[in-house]
A and B are shown apart, each in its own frame.
Chain A
Amino acid sequence: MNGPGQQWPVASMGPMARARALGASIPSAAWTEGILDAPYGTAWPWIADLEVSVPRFDTQVRRIRVLERSDGGGVGPGADPGAEPGAEQLRITASTFGIAVPFDVRLEDGFCLMQARARIYLVLMAAEPHDGGARTRFLHLEAIPLPGTRFLRGHLQRVVDADFANLTRLAARGF
């Protein structure tokens, strides 16, 4: 390419915008976003430790078990050649009301997409530094990505609002 093409400005899409775009495409998706009073460098590593974090703030989940984790780095003899640097793939179970539901998880810096097997439930968490990293902008989304589930949005909104309130309190206390 000649001329200015090589230097033209390129727009970017952070984890929050990516989450909003995905949420806007799912009729039942409910999400809430706001500021956590904790540094991003503290908040995200804690949130990304799903076994520890999710049962503490998610009102519907009693326990998370990580069954399998790939580092996504594509390095080493056993590495997945299709893996992407900076992205981890996890297989987990989330125990809700005594039932362990299997989820596939994609985990990146500031982005965590959890999809139940058979696509019956979707949880998305996204975060970005705020105030230069002194605080954390956070988005929590839940959805049932099946046809005819739009009517459940109100219920899901109450769920994510409660989860977000819990997380806000935990962040203020330093987790």
Chain B
Amino acid sequence: MDALVRALIPYVGRVCGAIALDRGDDAMQETFIAVLRNIRSLREPAALHGWVRRIAVREAIRAARGGREDPVDPDALVGLAMAPVDVATVVDVRSTLAGLAPEQRAILVLRDVDGLSEAEAARLLGVPEGTVKSRLHRARSAFTRRWEP
């Protein structure tokens, strides 16, 4: 079990840190508790990575919300595209991420850290794919522009 934890720490740390920010360490601990408690239910070893990803995203969003387990709001995901972007005031990534909803950070992490498609990320978050796909693409583009000259 400890070997599994050590192998997964870098990946889970990236997911939990980017979504839960200051509560990332708590999210990481809760992720591993859930993973280790339920690992025997995982029938297919090849599915490990995706299974851990789902748990990490869920725990990170929950931690970022202060422990509340609200359903993901699709509007929170698309709202990113409407957010005003002021490049001159963006001084670091953490402060920029802190201005986003946890669900928004989650979708960006899944895209940029994991390389999931918008559709896959939306499915993982339980968001109707057809509703958000096109808007989410614009949302991510708007976010990415903050780091481009």
Q: Chain A residues in contact with chain B, CB under 8 A? A: 1-5, 7-14, 17-18, 20-22, 24-25, 106, 113
11 contacts between A and B (CB under 8 A): A1-B112, A8-B17, A9-B21, A10-B17, A11-B17, A11-B20, A11-B25, A11-B27, A13-B28, A13-B29, A25-B33
Q: Does B2 contact A (CB under 8 A)?
A: yes
| Beyond known contacts A12-B28, A13-B9: 11 more, CB 8 A cutoff | A3-B112, A3-B144, A8-B18, A8-B93, A9-B93, A9-B94, A11-B12, A11-B17, A17-B32, A22-B1, A25-B39
What is the bound-complex CA distance between A18 and B5, given in angstroms?
Answer: 8
B2 contact set on A, CB distance < 8 A? 18, 22, 106, 113
Looking at chain A's contact residues, the main secondary structure is mixed
Interface flags for B50-65 (1: CB within 8 Å of A; 0: not) read 0000000000000000
Q: Count chain A CB atoms within 10 A of each CB in B12, B18, B109 and give the residue with the most.
A: B18
What is the bound-complex CA distance between A8 and B95, given in angstroms?
Answer: 10
A5-B112 in contact given A11-B28, A13-B9, A22-B5 (Cβ < 8 Å): yes
- B77–chain A nearest beta-carbon distance, Å: 17
What is the bound-complex CA distance between A24 and B28, given in angstroms?
Answer: 14
Once the chains bind, are B13 and A13 in contact (CB under 8 Å)? yes
Once the chains bind, are A12 and B13 in contact (CB under 8 Å)? yes
A106 contact set on B, CB distance < 8 A? 2
Q: Does B14 contact A (CB under 8 A)?
A: yes
What is the bound-complex CA distance between A30 and B56, given in angstroms?
Answer: 26
What is the bound-complex CA distance between A25 and B143, given in angstroms?
Answer: 39
A22 contact set on B, CB distance < 8 A? 1-2, 5, 36
Q: Does B44 contact A (CB under 8 A)?
A: no
What is the bound-complex CA distance between A18 and B18, given in angstroms?
Answer: 20
A4 contact set on B, CB distance < 8 A? 93, 96-97, 108, 112, 143-144, 146-147
Residue of B nearest to A2 (CB): B144
Once the chains bind, are B144 and A9 in contact (CB under 8 Å)? no
A7 contact set on B, CB distance < 8 A? 92-93
Which B22-54 residues have C-beta < 8 A from chain A?
Answer: 24-25, 27-29, 32-33, 36-37, 39
- B14–chain A nearest beta-carbon distance, Å: 5
- B146–chain A nearest beta-carbon distance, Å: 8
B86 contact set on A, CB distance < 8 A? none
A17-B97 in contact given A3-B112, A5-B113, A106-B2 (Cβ < 8 Å): no
What is the bound-complex CA distance between A5 and B20, given in angstroms?
Answer: 15
Once the chains bind, are B36 and A21 in contact (CB under 8 Å)? yes
- A153–chain B nearest beta-carbon distance, Å: 15
B14 contact set on A, CB distance < 8 A? 8, 10-11
Q: Count chain A CB atoms within 10 A of each CB in B29, B37, B108, B148 and give the residue with the most.
A: B29
Point out the residue from A3, A9, A10, A14 that lies within 8 Å of B148, measured CB to CB. Answer: A3
What is the bound-complex CA distance between A30 and B9, given in angstroms?
Answer: 24
- A38–chain B nearest beta-carbon distance, Å: 25
